[in-house]
Amino acid sequence: MKTKIVIFFLIISSLSYSQEKDSIKLKELEFAEKLTYAFTSEVFKKQEHNSKIDKDYKLPWNTKLYTEAQSKKALDTLIKNATIKIKKGSFSNHILEFNSYFPEFISDDLISIFKLSIKTNKIADDSTILKIQESGNSGFGFHSSSGFENGNAYSHNWRTISTSFDIKTKIKTEGFKGTIEFESGFIKGYDYLKIKKSDIGKEMKIGNYDFTVIDVLDNSLILDFKTNIEDLGLTLVNLNKKRQRIISSGVMFSSQTLFKDVYLKFKENPNLSFEDYKKAFHSKFIEMIENAKKKKETQENIFGKEYRVFTSSGNLINAYLYMPKYFSKKFEITYNENEKERIPKEPKKSPLDKKMELYFENEDGVAVLLGDNLKLLDKNLRPIKSVESGIYVKILGKSLRDFNGEKYDETCKAYKYVKIVYDDDEYLIAGKNVYKMEKLDKQAPQGSTLEFFKAESNDYLKVFKPNAGMEFCYQITYSPILIKNTKKDSYTFIDVIKDDLYSKITNQFKEADFFQSGSNANIYDKITKIETTDGGFLLDLRHDGDSYKVSLTKKKNKYIVKYLNKKKTSENKRNGITKEFYENGDLKAEWNYKNNKLNGISKKYYKDGKYAVKNYLNGKLIESKTYLKDGILHEEFNIENGKRNGTATRFYKTGEKRATWEYKDNVLISGATYYIIGEKKNDYKYQEGKRNGISIGYFLNGKKKYEWNYIKGKLEGITIEYYKSGKKKYEWNYEKNKLKGKSIKYYENGSVEKILSY
């Protein structure tokens, strides 16, 4: 389209109106006729476009969205903490301001698909109900708190929302009461369909809207909807045979209206001249102006049925219409002019003690929280009713977002158990079994041998053990381990990681060459057997296919470490494929050797289905990629001289680019992240592995969202946040990652709203 056209009846209604036909401004009438002619003739004209292909375009209906449970939790938090107030706006008008915040797990991706609108307004003064605009302008900020407690650092970050709704009534700012009903929601998916020439005349449906395909032109669809679709949110996308979007520089897709009589005239003669067009419709234009204040039905009586035209920037090849579907909630807020804005509160300390040790006593036994249900155990902690598998639970020091979000993969999400307390003892429920939790020294007196249980049923596969891939959840603090006492012939869960012994083992081996950092070299994978001795322990260890035996003798608060067999069990040079297995028998890794050096393709398989493929040449890494279980590329690193150099990329499951990093000799230099629809989300710069310099965030419209200045990983100096319009919203002053001095919040018109001191 060469000219951006607006629907002509709106233009006409804005012309000077008079009850006297003779006073109509002929120049304005001619302008309206020319404008509407230009739009319609452009629709029917044979198009010549300088089109290009947008290879990075992501189909909206293939994008990954948040689950309904996550959206529900976000909306519940938003509604619970919502407040409204009436205040002066940027100019002389007043606004109704909605303020709230989201739970901590919320991200910019979720914010970008959020909507908020007013459904019903009953706020009034003594005589007048306020006229408030249904849609508002939302701004998103953040609220952070951090500090130290019991020697441990903590940090919390919430995304805040402030939405302004224009009040059309001239008012004072006092004496109002009443309620207002809002509707808020998140996109949960998209309805879409393909329309082609063979569909002309067919009745079709998208979402809850029925329509008839009137025509398919070179670059336009003409549709007849049965209901008004002004706020429908329909979008046209034009794809080539490779499902890549066709675009033209500087031209966007548009949606306009076209009346039936005008369509039929141009359908009869696509090359209709302006003079002939004017002859056909001049009298109708005059009649339209005379009835400009009447309803839309009057306009349709003059020009015929109103069609909707969806126009592409290039000739249509594969034309798709799509519209979002929302998970939404309606909620009501009572206006209270004295109510203060609610500030996010730090979550209660409830990782292990409040969640996992939750139990209830009654006359029949102990009631244990499993999932959303309470299950009863008898006095011996045996299930009275069948106990289902445990739920995803918090681990000490970690929050729910670590497991319900994208921070960890499915390996960590498989961590299922519920811990209870009864008669001062601790028990753990896994599957349908109840195990008593004991310390290692209590469970294994001298002469006992403890072997890690090799799972043969799904009940135990859900519990992490040191030899079952713990390196992928390395930040987990505590992990119970199912072991077998050969002397007692009994199985028990032991809190080994929590035990003093285990922490001492980790400290002693931290600097040893045997436990060097990197994959396949983590202590969590190495202990296969523990034997108690007088004053210490004997450990059987495995590393890269070789076995070791190590003695630990306790002296005061330290363990003396001694290798009893320093030589490896296999002295011959390795050639060919070496395989490593998980305890349940699943393949863990395939290492390809030649003359004891890695050579060719090696693979490592993760418990969540992902697998890494690395290519070596004479022991030197030359290629590295990670795939999802269905074979979709997840990460790709560019390797030169055995080191990461150049661009590394992470992808969404749908194949779209999610993040990129630039490396030089294994050193991270810069990075960027992208919205799932393809637009850039963030730009970062690094120095010595830490953020350094200006980091920039972007809205989906491409405008800057923030500019944060980092020095050696810490915020320093002035950082700026912007409204979606590009106007400055905040100036924050940081010193060594803490707010200090004067910070300023601006209205969108540029005037100062408040000054904050830190």
Residue 535 has what pLDDT?
A: 63
Kindly list the distances between the CA atom of residue 616 and the CA atoms of 205, 518, 589, 619, in Å, as whole numbers in the listed order.
54, 16, 15, 6
Size of the chain in residues = 758
Residue 574 sits at the vertex; the CA angle it makes with 572 and 580, to the nearest 5 degrees, is 120
The per-residue pLDDT for range 23-44, each reduced to its tens digit, is 445 666 777 778 888 888 878 8
Residue 452 has what pLDDT?
A: 42
Residue 64 has what pLDDT?
A: 65
pLDDT at 466 over 80: no
Rounded average pLDDT over 191-212: 90
d(CA 701, CA 695): 18
pLDDT at 380 over 60: no
Decide if 732 contacts 739 (C-beta within 8 A).
yes
**Higher per-residue confidence, 520 vs 7:** 7
The per-residue pLDDT for range 142-153, each reduced to its tens digit, is 777 766 655 555
Rounded average pLDDT over 526-539: 59
pLDDT at 68 over 80: no
d(CA 43, CA 222): 10
- pLDDT-derived band at 672 (thresholds 50, 70, 90) equals very high
**Higher per-residue confidence, 233 vs 716:** 716
Tokens 């009654």 belong to which residue? Answer: 362
Q: Which two tokens stand for residue 534?
A: 């007088």
Kindly list the distances between the CA atom of residue 517 and the CA atoms of 471, 479, 648, in Å, as whole numbers in the listed order.
11, 21, 22
d(CA 130, CA 134): 12
CB neighbours (10 Å) of residue 209?
17
User: Of 157-166, 240-249, 662-671, which gets the smallest average pLDDT?
Assistant: 240-249
User: Can you tell me whether residue 110 is helix, strand or coil?
Assistant: helix
Rounded average pLDDT over 172-190: 82
Residue 6 has what pLDDT?
A: 41
User: Of 284-298, 398-412, 656-670, 737-751, which gets the smallest average pLDDT?
Assistant: 398-412
Residue 11 sits at the vertex; the CA angle it makes with 6 and 17, to the nearest 5 degrees, is 175
CA 460 to chain centre: 31
pLDDT at 585 over 90: no
d(CA 670, CA 685): 4
d(CA 680, CA 58): 12
Residue type present at position 27: K
Residue 573 has what pLDDT?
A: 54
DSSP state of 207: T
Mean pLDDT score across all residues of the chain = 68
d(CA 400, CA 364): 32
User: Of 338-352, 464-478, 521-535, which gets the smallest average pLDDT?
Assistant: 464-478
Of the candidates 388, 369, 368, 370, the residue with the CA atom closest to the CA atom of residue 378: 368
pLDDT at 600 over 80: yes
Residue 36 has what pLDDT?
A: 81
Residue 723 has what pLDDT?
A: 92
- pLDDT-derived band at 92 (thresholds 50, 70, 90) equals low
Helix (H) or strand (E) holding 635: strand 633-637
**Higher per-residue confidence, 68 vs 353:** 68
pLDDT at 220 over 80: yes
Residue 442 has what pLDDT?
A: 52
Decide if 719 contacts 744 (C-beta within 8 A).
no
- Name the residue ranges covered by the structural domains of the chain: 8-63+189-325, 68-186+327-334, 352-498, 679-758
d(CA 607, CA 588): 8
Residue 323 has what pLDDT?
A: 87
Rounded average pLDDT over 569-592: 63
- pLDDT-derived band at 574 (thresholds 50, 70, 90) equals low
Kindly list the distances between the CA atom of residue 632 and the CA atoms of 637, 650, 655, 656, in Å, as whole numbers in the listed order.
15, 11, 7, 11
pLDDT > 90 fraction of the chain, expressed in percent and rounded:
8
CA 45 to chain centre: 43
148 beta partners: 153
Q: What value does the CA radius of gyration of the chain take, rounded to a whole number of Å?
A: 33
For the chain, helix, strand, coil in percent to 5 are: 15, 45, 40
**Higher per-residue confidence, 751 vs 54:** 751
Decide if 40 contacts 266 (C-beta within 8 A).
yes
User: Of 38-52, 203-217, 670-684, 742-756, which gets the smallest average pLDDT?
Assistant: 38-52
d(CA 157, CA 696): 18
Rounded average pLDDT over 170-199: 84
The set of residues, in sequence order, having a beta carbon less than 8 Å from that of 224 and lying 6+ positions away, is 211, 212, 214, 305, 307, 308
Burial 359-391 (b: 16+ CB within 10 A, else e): beeeeebbbbbbeeeebebeeebebeeebebbe
pLDDT > 70 fraction of the chain, expressed in percent and rounded:
56
CA 599 to chain centre: 39
d(CA 533, CA 531): 7
d(CA 569, CA 564): 13
User: Of 200-209, 583-592, 718-727, which gets the smallest average pLDDT?
Assistant: 583-592
User: Of 72-76, 512-516, 550-554, 738-742, which gets the smallest average pLDDT?
Assistant: 512-516
Residue type present at position 286: I
User: Of 409-413, 538-542, 722-726, which gets the smallest average pLDDT?
Assistant: 409-413
pLDDT at 399 over 70: no
End-to-end, the C-alpha distance of the chain in Å comes to 52
The per-residue pLDDT for range 188-200, each reduced to its tens digit, is 888 889 999 999 9
Residue 98 has what pLDDT?
A: 93
Tokens 């830190």 belong to which residue? Answer: 758
Residue 547 has what pLDDT?
A: 63
617 beta partners: 620
Rounded average pLDDT over 580-606: 76
d(CA 42, CA 247): 17
Q: Using CB atoms within 10 A of its CB, is residue 571 exposed (0-12), middle (13-18) or buried (19+)?
A: exposed
d(CA 159, CA 410): 26
**Higher per-residue confidence, 302 vs 109:** 302
**Higher per-residue confidence, 467 vs 554:** 554
Rounded average pLDDT over 245-261: 68
Of the candidates 192, 64, 52, 51, the residue with the CA atom closest to the CA atom of residue 677: 64
d(CA 625, CA 297): 61
d(CA 723, CA 631): 40
Pairing of strands 137-149, 152-167: antiparallel
Rounded average pLDDT over 149-161: 67
The set of residues, in sequence order, having a beta carbon less than 8 Å from that of 168 and lying 6+ positions away, is 93, 131, 132, 133
Q: Strand 365-370's sheet: what is its strand order?
A: 359-362, 365-370, 373-377
pLDDT at 83 over 70: yes
Residue 290 has what pLDDT?
A: 66
Q: Which of 9-23, 238-252, 365-379 has the largest mean confidence?
A: 238-252
